Structure 1
């Protein structure tokens, strides 16, 4: 029973080390990419800890021997390793939305927060990806504060050309 308990604790310690140090251990020993997939440290840690703790449970709650405890531990350890592998793959493949770009602002409505003179810049507030964004704005005609505008072009990452909305 002590051996199984030691395996369970060693598996948890290995999991903690793999979470804290990540791929540093693999890099130190020149194993980059070798321990991916089924041989990754979290998968091995899940297998070893489940093998150990299942062995302790089987020995402590039943009259089965060490061989049966080991066999049952291997089966549950393999299931834990497989589940760890599947979950880590799903987390690594997590897709994010495309990053908004300046050109995505073209055609966006907004409002003037600092008046725009005919020969200079003012400020407008528009929504980009659902977030309010304050940008420098230039217009061919003077635009007063509070006027609703339409973005015509992205001049840079922080400035746009606008025109007032005509109603």
Structure 2
């Protein structure tokens, strides 16, 4: 039973190593078996093999052979699940980083008053997060005024105008 528990604990240690050295082994084995030899998959297989084998060995009268067989089936399931989860997480290509063009036409509010032709600060929402930008306007805008973004000349500044109601 000690061997099975050692395999289970070793699998968990391997999973911790895969979190610390994210992608190192995958980079070495790039393209080999399409991710089946990734550390999370191997860790899931080994730990489930070990813990399931220990449970079968300790709770039934079966010997080590059936414990290994049942553990291997459970380990294969855990490895497959880890592979599917990692493919689903790593395959998310829809999370594109926002760009300054995404600000055009958005609304926000003035945080620091904007003098005519000078700079102040506005609070805008970019990808759902509040972000402060340096802002310039043709007419003076007071703190709290609702604004509309006309241009984004740089990644940290915008040109705004007051929202007309």
Both proteins in one fold, TM over 0.5: yes
Quick one: structure 1 residues 133 and 72, their matched pair in 2 at CA, closer, same or farther if it must change by over 3 Å? same
SS of the residue corresponding to residue 98 of structure 2 reads coil
What is residue 99 of structure 1 aligned with on the other side? 97
CA RMSD of the aligned region, Å? 2.7
The number of equivalent residue pairs is: 160
Task: Find the counterpart in structure 2 of residue 133 from structure 1.
Answer: 132
Residue 19 of structure 1 is matched in structure 2 by 19
For the residue of structure 2 that corresponds to 1:39, the secondary structure is coil
Shift of 1:3: 2.8
Please report the TM-score for the alignment, with normalisation by the length of structure 2: 0.76
Map of 1:67 onto structure 2: 65
Listed as ranges, the matches of 1:37-116 within 5 Å are: 37-95=35-93, 97-112=95-110, 113-116=112-115
Instruction: Decide whether the 8 Å contact of 1:143 with 1:164 is kept in 2.
Output: no
Confirm or deny: 8 A CA contact 1:148 1:164 kept in the other structure: yes
How far is 1:32 from its partner? 3.7
Cα distance in 2 for partners of 1:11, 1:132 equals 42
Report the Cα distance in structure 1 between the residues aligned to 2:163 and 2:26, rounded to whole angstroms. 59
Gaps of 5+ in 2: none
Partner of 2:6: 6
1:135 match: secondary structure: strand
Task: Name structure 1 gaps, 5 residues minimum.
Answer: none
